[in-house]
Amino acid sequence: MEHSGTHGWQEAFQSNPGQYPHRLAARFPHVVKRLSESWDSPELARACFRDLLTPQRPQRRGFPEEVYLEIFSLSQLFERLHKNKQPAADIYWNWVAN
């Protein structure tokens, strides 16, 4: 892959090569770096996706539509691959609900 990232990042695209964000990597390599480095930490990755997909600062221009769609697709892939991995705080407090 074009950005080495973490082991989980590499595995994700070996299994799903058509989902690699080529446009994002070409235009915003720093974003790919940030996502790839947080990929194995569900809490960090979800926070990163939330920040990228939900504009919170009015001075930001936002991403071009095709890049935004790649980020959204990546977030969906991430959730599919991490669906059984809860944040540590959620796991810790599960006993309260039971």
pLDDT digits (tens, 9 = 90+) for 50-69: 999 987 777 778 899 999 99
Domain count for the chain, please give it.
1
Asked if residue 41 is part of any domain, the answer here is yes
Asked if residue 21 is part of any domain, the answer here is yes
pTM passes above 0.85: no
Structure tokens at 15: 């299994």
Residue 82 belongs to what domain range? Answer: 7-97
Asked if residue 2 is part of any domain, the answer here is no
Asked if residue 1 is part of any domain, the answer here is no
If phi > 0 it is left, if psi is from -120 to 50 it is alpha, else beta; for residue 62 that is left
Q: Which string of b and e fits 76-97 if b means at least 16 CB within 10 Å? A: ebbeebbeeeeeeeeeeeeeee
Determine how many CB atoms are found less than 10 A away from the CB of residue 11: 14
Q: What angle do CA 83, 17, 43 make, to 5 degrees?
A: 30
Predicted confidence (pLDDT) per residue in 13-23, tens digit = 998 889 999 99
User: What is the number of helices (H) and of strands (E) in the chain?
Assistant: 6, 0
